[in-house]
Amino acid sequence: MSDIRNKLYFVSDAHLGSGADSRERELSLCRLLDSMKTDAKRLVLLGDMFDFWFSYKHVVPRGHVRLLGKLAELADAGVEIHYYIGNHDMWLFDYLEKEIGVVMHSEPDIMEFDGRRFLIGHGDGLGGFDPGYDHLKKIFRNRACQRLFALLPPRLTFPIAQRWSDSNKLRHQRVGLQHYLGDDREGIVIYIKERMQSDQFDYAVFGHRHTPLDMEIGTQAIKHSGNQALKYINTGDWLDHRSYAVYAEGNIKLVEDCTGKDDN
């Protein structure tokens, strides 16, 4: 195995803590992360790695110790870790930053790596496609609302969050959102096209949709390579697809249906 750290990895939507197979998913995810030790320069977690998290001042949510330990191990080994908070774990606050050194992001932004520019985010509430969720997201991110929620004991807050999470999953199953809905109904695609009007980037990488996607969107002029189609990668999830993305030496690839790292 190569000991050259030159790869950028993207993983999203493990929703640990949800479902009877949560422990098995966590173990398989840790095997993937463990396989990155020798070649990962940077790891980007695209949100919803936990089905619910709330960072109380003196209390850490029960569970997920294997994942947290593995992230700490990677960070200690020199892997730079970024976390884009999702709609299920937007209340992580600064826990991972202080304990492990993870760089936290609350909104999509552009990241540079190996001379390329990546538009990166979780993907929830983009494109102005769901005004109802946009309003709910403002409430969830309101500091006053967060302080009020923190006053409630975990024995009350976690069951409330679990019920909301379960109903949200059922809604996605009921309306059939686990497939590509078309350019005019995909909020992430709408958002990417809007950003293309004002920003220049080589790739767009998001999670949230639980649908692995590798597609081209429009054409833009890139300084180092001229006109080219913009590639959009959606990492899918580690819930059903066990999929992730990896970039190295000018190429980004979506890896699907696996429980460990691709050998190529």
Beta strands in 109-188 (DSSP E): 109-113, 116-121
The segment with the largest mean pLDDT, out of 34-43, 124-133, 148-157, 249-258, is 34-43
Per-residue pLDDT tens digits for 213-225: 999 997 765 555 5
Structure tokens given for 177: 């959102």
Residue corresponding to tokens 């970039």: 247
Banded model confidence at residue 2, pLDDT cuts 50, 70, 90: very low
pLDDT attached to residue 32: 96
Per-residue pLDDT tens digits for 76-104: 999 999 999 998 888 888 999 999 999 99
pLDDT attached to residue 1: 42
Per-residue pLDDT tens digits for 117-138: 999 999 998 987 666 666 666 6
Mean pLDDT score of the chain: 84
pLDDT attached to residue 136: 64
Please, are residues 68 and 55 in contact by the beta-carbon 8 Å criterion? Answer: no
Please classify residue 96 by burial: count the beta carbons closer than 10 Å to its beta carbon, then call 0-12 exposed, 13-18 middle and 19+ buried.
buried
Does position 116 have pLDDT exceeding 80, yes or no?
yes
pLDDT attached to residue 108: 97
Does position 262 have pLDDT exceeding 60, yes or no?
no
Q: Which domains does the chain have, with CATH numbers?
A: 7-255 (3.60.21.10)
Does position 154 have pLDDT exceeding 60, yes or no?
yes
Does position 260 have pLDDT exceeding 60, yes or no?
no
Does position 6 have pLDDT exceeding 50, yes or no?
yes
In 3D, which of 250, 249, 181, 243 has the Cα closest to residue 12? 243
Query: What is the Cα–Cα distance from 32 to 70, expressed in whole angstroms?
Result: 10
| pLDDT more than 90, % of the chain | 57
